[in-house]
C-alpha cells in the first residue's frame, strides 16, 4: 500500500510544498465554487457509496438549496434518533432493526478517516514530536516557502498550509455559518447529512498527502476516497434516504475576502451590501468580515436592535457597522472614566456603562483606538466588553490582555 508515487520518507522539500499549495488552492476553489452542479458525477458517486453498503442506488431529487429541506414536507424525511439508535446501543441488538442508510454512511466514512489518519500519524510521528509552540507560530506567520527556507519543518508546513488553512476557510468560515443559519431557521440536526463541496477541507487532507506519495492506501480505500473527492468537486449538500437521496445545487453567489495577515491563503465570508451566500431559490446567509449576522445588521442596523441582541459577536459587528462613536451617542451610554492609553500614546481609553439590563451580566464597554493605521489612513476604534467591577480604564485594558493595569502601563506601543 504505497502512495501514488511510491514509498517515500516524510520529507517535504520546496517542490513538494509547491505541489501541496497548488492542490490546496484547487480544493479551496471547489469549496467556494458557484458553478452549476455536475449532476451525473454526483449521482454516480453517491450510487457507489450505496453499493458499498450493499444497497441499491437511490432515486435522486435535486433542489436549489439546503433551504428546501426546511419546507414543511421536505423531499426526504430527516434522520432522527429512533429505535435503530437505541438498538445499536443495546447489549443484544435486534438484527431486524437496521440503522438508516445515513447512519451506515457515517460509520463507513468514519472508519475510512480513522484508518487514514492513523497511517498519516504513523508516518509523520517522529517529525511531529519535534514541533514546538515556536515552530507552530513560525509556520503560521510566514508564507510556506519563506518559512521552509527559514528552516521550519516541511511536515508542519504541510499541516498548516493545507489542513489548517482549508479547515478555517471552508469549515469555519463557510460551512459553519450555513449550518447555523439552517438550524436557526428551523432545521433539525444536520449531522446525518453530507456537505458536498463543503466537505473539501477534510477530503483535501488525504488527497494532498496521497498526491505527494506519502499516504499508504489500499485499492478499496482509494475507491471510497475517490467517491468522496468526486462529491466535493461536484455538488452541494446532500441527504441520503432509504430510497431517495436529495442533493442541493451549489450557491449561485458566494462573496468572501482574504483573512487579514493570513500567510496561507485563508478567506472568510463578507459582503457589505446584501447576503454573502445566495442560492437559486433565494435562500441566503449574511456575513460581515467572517461573522454570520442577521440580515438587519447589513441592511438597517439600529441602536434598538443592537441593544436587544444577545449574541456578543453579532452585537459587536452591528456596532462597528454604524461606528462606536455613533452607537455610544445614540444609545446614551454614560462615560464612567477616561485615561490616557499607555499602550497607544496620544490616544485615550474610555470606559462606559453598558445597557446591562438588556445584555444580561453587568458589564462596561472599554473604547480604545487601534495602535496601527488602516489602509485609508484612519485608526479604527473598537469596543471591548469588560466586567462592571472595573473603574480604571487602564486596568480594564490590561485585563483584556490578561495583565494587570500596572503591567499594561509598561507595555510598548500596542498594534
Q: What Å distances lie between residue 18 and 10, 25, 78, 162, 200, CA to CA?
A: 15, 11, 42, 11, 19
Give the pLDDT band of residue 9 (cuts 50, 70, 90).
Answer: very low
**Mean of all residue pLDDT scores within the chain:** 87
Give the pLDDT band of residue 300 (cuts 50, 70, 90).
Answer: very high
Query: Quick one: which H or E segment has residue 86?
Result: helix 83-88
The tens digit of pLDDT for each residue in 13-46 reads 999 999 999 999 999 999 999 999 999 999 999 9
pLDDT of residue 357: 58
Give the pLDDT band of residue 270 (cuts 50, 70, 90).
Answer: very high
pLDDT of residue 96: 58
pLDDT of residue 91: 43
Q: Among the residues of 129-161, which ranges form H helices?
A: 133-141, 144-149, 154-158
Share of the chain above pLDDT 70, in %: 86
Between 372 and 413, residue with greater pLDDT: 372
Residues with Cβ within 8 Å of residue 228, at least 6 apart in sequence: 45, 109, 199, 203
Residue 8 scores a pLDDT above 50: no
Averaged over 135-144, what is the pLDDT?
89
**Per-residue buried b or exposed e for 117-146, using 16+ beta carbons within 10 Å of the residue's own CB:** eebbeebbeebeeebeeebbebbbebebee
Query: Quick one: which H or E segment has residue 222?
Result: helix 219-234
Residues with Cβ within 8 Å of residue 106, at least 6 apart in sequence: 191, 192
The tens digit of pLDDT for each residue in 367-381 reads 988 877 666 667 788
Residue 1 scores a pLDDT above 50: no
Q: Domain ranges for the chain, please list them.
A: 14-251, 327-409
pLDDT of residue 356: 58
Between 11 and 10, residue with greater pLDDT: 11
Which one, of 246, 285, 248, lies nearest residue 268 by Cα? 285
CB 366 within 8 A of CB 350: yes
pTM of the model: 0.85
Poorest-pLDDT segment among 206-220, 224-238, 290-304, 347-361: 347-361
Poorest-pLDDT segment among 75-79, 138-142, 253-257, 411-415: 411-415
pLDDT of residue 232: 99
pLDDT of residue 3: 39
Collapse the DSSP code of 244 into the 3-class scheme (helix H, G, I; strand E, B; otherwise coil) and give the result.
strand
Give the pLDDT band of residue 77 (cuts 50, 70, 90).
Answer: low
Report how far residue 8's alpha carbon sits from residue 124's, in angstroms, rounded to the nearest whole number: 11
Averaged over 185-211, what is the pLDDT?
87
Averaged over 234-258, what is the pLDDT?
97
Alpha-carbon dihedral angle through residues 95, 99, 105, 111, given to the nearest 10 degrees: -50
pLDDT of residue 88: 43
The tens digit of pLDDT for each residue in 80-139 reads 544 444 444 344 445 556 788 998 999 999 999 999 999 998 888 755 556 777 878 888
pLDDT of residue 90: 42
Residue 243 scores a pLDDT above 70: yes
Report how far residue 29's alpha carbon sits from residue 166's, in angstroms, rounded to the nearest whole number: 10
Poorest-pLDDT segment among 52-56, 140-144, 330-334, 368-372: 368-372
Backbone angles phi, psi at 39, to 5 degrees: -65, -40
Residue 237 DSSP symbol: -
Amino acid at each position: 500500500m504505497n502512495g501514488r508515487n511510491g514509498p517515500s520518507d516524510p520529507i517535504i522539500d520546496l517542490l513538494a510544498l509547491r505541489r501541496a499549495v497548488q492542490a490546496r488552492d484547487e480544493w479551496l476553489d471547489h469549496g467556494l465554487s458557484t458553478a452549476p452542479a455536475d449532476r451525473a458525477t454526483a449521482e454516480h458517486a453517491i450510487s457507489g457509496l450505496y453499493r458499498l453498503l450493499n444497497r441499491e442506488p437511490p432515486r435522486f431529487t435535486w433542489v436549489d438549496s439546503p433551504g428546501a429541506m426546511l419546507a414543511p414536507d421536505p423531499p426526504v424525511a430527516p434522520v432522527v434518533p429512533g429505535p435503530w439508535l437505541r438498538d445499536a446501543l443495546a447489549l443484544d441488538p435486534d438484527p431486524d432493526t437496521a440503522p438508516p442508510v445515513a447512519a451506515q454512511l457515517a460509520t463507513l466514512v468514519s472508519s475510512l478517516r480513522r484508518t487514514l489518519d492513523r497511517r498519516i500519524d504513523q508516518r509523520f510521528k517522529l517529525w511531529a514530536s519535534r514541533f514546538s509552540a515556536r515552530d507552530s507560530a513560525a509556520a503560521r506567520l510566514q508564507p510556506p516557502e519563506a518559512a521552509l527556507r527559514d528552516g521550519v519543518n516541511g511536515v508542519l508546513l504541510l499541516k498548516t498550509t493545507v489542513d489548517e488553512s482549508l479547515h478555517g476557510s471552508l469549515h469555519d468560515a463557510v460551512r459553519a455559518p450555513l449550518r447555523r443559519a439552517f438550524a436557526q431557521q428551523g432545521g433539525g440536526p444536520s449531522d446525518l447529512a453530507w456537505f458536498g463541496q463543503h466537505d473539501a477541507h477534510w477530503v483535501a487532507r488525504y488527497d494532498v498527502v496521497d498526491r505527494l506519495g506519502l499516504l499508504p492506501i489500499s485499492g478499496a480505500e482509494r475507491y471510497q476516497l475517490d467517491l468522496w473527492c468526486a462529491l466535493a468537486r461536484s455538488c452541494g449538500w446532500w441527504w441520503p434516504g432509504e430510497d431517495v437521496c436529495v442533493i442541493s445545487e451549489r450557491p449561485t453567489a458566494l462573496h468572501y475576502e482574504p483573512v487579514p495577515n493570513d500567510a496561507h491563503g485563508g478567506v472568510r465570508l463578507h459582503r457589505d451590501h446584501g447576503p454573502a451566500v445566495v442560492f437559486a431559490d433565494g435562500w441566503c446567509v449574511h456575513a460581515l468580515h467572517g461573522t454570520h449576522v442577521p440580515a438587519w445588521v447589513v441592511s438597517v442596523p439600529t441602536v434598538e436592535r443592537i441593544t436587544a441582541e444577545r449574541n456578543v459577536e453579532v452585537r459587536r459587528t452591528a456596532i462597528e457597522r454604524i461606528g462606536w462613536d455613533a452607537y455610544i451617542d445614540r444609545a446614551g451610554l454614560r462615560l464612567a472614566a477616561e485615561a490616557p492609553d499607555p499602550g497607544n500614546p496620544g490616544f485615550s481609553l474610555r470606559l462606559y456603562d453598558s445597557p446591562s439590563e438588556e445584555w444580561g451580566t453587568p458589564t462596561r464597554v472599554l473604547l480604545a483606538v487601534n495602535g496601527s493605521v488602516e489602509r485609508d489612513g484612519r485608526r479604527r476604534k473598537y469596543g471591548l466588553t469588560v466586567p462592571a467591577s472595573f473603574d480604571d480604564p487602564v486596568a480594564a485594558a490590561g485585563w483584556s490582555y490578561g495583565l494587570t493595569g500596572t503591567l499594561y502601563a509598561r507595555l510598548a506601543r500596542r498594534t
